[in-house]
Amino acid sequence: MILLDSTQTLSAVRRSLETHVLGVLDDSFARLQVLAAMKALDDVIDRLQRGDPIDRANERVEAGLRSLADSVRGESPGFAESIDSLLSSAASVDQPRDRARVLGEGNTELIRRHDPASRRLVDFLNGEAATVTLEDSTWMCQEAIESLQ
Partner 1 sequence: MASDGLLDVERVERYLSEQVPALEVRKVNAATRFPAGLSSLSCRIDLLTEQGLRTVVIRAEPEHGVIPPYDIVAEYELMFRVSQGGLPVPEMLHLEADPEVFGTRFMVMSYLEGEMFRSSDPRVEADAALAEQLKFHFVEMLARIHLFDGHGLPLFTDAAEAARAEVRACRRRLAETQVLPNPALEHALDVLEANAPPGQRQVLLHGDYRLPNLKWRDGKLVGILDWELARVGDPISDVCFTQTVGIGACSITGDLLDRYLDLTGFDVDDQRLAYYQLLEMVKGTIIGLAAAKDILNGGSDLRLLSVAGLAASAVPVVGMLEQSVERVEAR
The contact set with partner 1 (CB under 8 A) reads 28-29, 32-33, 36-37, 39-40, 97, 100-101, 104-105, 107-108, 111-112, 122-123, 125-127, 129-130, 132-133, 136-137, 139-142, 144-149
Q: Is the distance from CB of 32 to CB of 147 less than 8 angstroms?
A: yes
Q: Which residue, 74 or 99, is less far from partner 1 as judged by CB?
A: 99
Residue 3 C-beta: closest distance to partner 1, Å:
29
Tell me the three state secondary structure of residue 140.
coil
d(CA 24, CA 106): 50
For partner 1, the closer of residues 4 and 130 by Cβ is 130
- What are residue 45's phi and psi, to 5 degrees? -60, -40
- Beta carbon nearer to partner 1, 5 or 16: 16
Count other C-beta atoms under 10 Å from residue 48's C-beta: 13
Query: Quick one: 1 or 114, whose CB is closer to partner 1?
Result: 114
Nearer to partner 1, 88 or 137 (CB): 137
| Interacting residues of 40 by C-beta distance below 8 A, sequence separation 6+ | 139
- Residue among 81, 58, 85, 86 at smallest CA distance from 70: 81
- Cα separation of the two ends of the chain: 41
